[in-house]
């Protein structure tokens, strides 16, 4: 994603609170009004049941940023919005698809005959097929697997040590990125 053309579609209003994610995608997608001076705005498409998503959210907050949180399983993006997120990540639909779980196997989505358009349709119908977390910042959009990929697009970097839930160090005691 390049700031300017697509950025306002993803940034939330400076008046939005951290609890606004409870209203989900519908409130998020219509609030883009830019950013306030000195305050970077970040959005995470989050699944709290996913360790990578939890680690990514914690890393964003560790950088001093309170992101807009979209619980995409409860309030999924439309097909068009999903296509824009995938495109802005620089991925194909297959690369943005979660390939674990019963539905992926049940629908035989590993088969090569599926076209991107069909995969996007299925992801829009079944948001559990969307890989996560997807993070949008003024500097870009990323599928943050592993979680430290979010550091590439955060407008401010954490300087204090940070470790994932499993204890794996991401930022060391000197504030250097390890992973």
Q: Which residues are catalytic?
A: 50
E strands present in the chain: 43-46, 68-71, 134-137, 140-143, 162-163, 169-171
What is the biggest distance separating any 2 CA atoms in the chain, rounded to whole angstroms?
49
| Alpha helices (H) along the chain | 7-10, 24-29, 51-62, 79-89, 102-106, 116-125
Q: Which residue has the tokens 């698809």?
A: 97
3-class SS of residue 6? coil
């Amino acid at each position: 994603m390049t700031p300017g053309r697509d950025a306002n579609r993803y940034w939330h209003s400076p008046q939005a609170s951290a609890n606004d994610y409870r209203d989900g995608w519908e409130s998020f997608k219509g609030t883009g009004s830019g950013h306030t001076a000195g305050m970077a705005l970040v959005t995470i498409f989050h699944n709290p049941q996913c360790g990578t998503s939890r680690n990514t959210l914690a890393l964003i907050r560790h950088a001093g940023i309170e992101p807009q949180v979209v619980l995409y399983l409860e309030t999924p993006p439309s097909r068009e919005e999903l296509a824009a997120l995938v495109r802005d990540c620089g991925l194909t639909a297959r690369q943005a698809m979660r390939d674990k779980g019963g539905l992926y196997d049940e629908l035989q989505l590993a088969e090569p005959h599926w076209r991107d358009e069909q995969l996007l349709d299925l992801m829009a119908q079944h948001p559990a097929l969307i890989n996560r977390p997807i993070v949008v910042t003024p500097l870009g959009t990323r599928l943050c697997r592993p979680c430290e990929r979010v550091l590439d697009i955060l407008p401010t970097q954490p300087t204090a040590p940070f470790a994932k839930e499993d204890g794996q160090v991401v930022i060391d005691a000197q504030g250097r990125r390890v992973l």
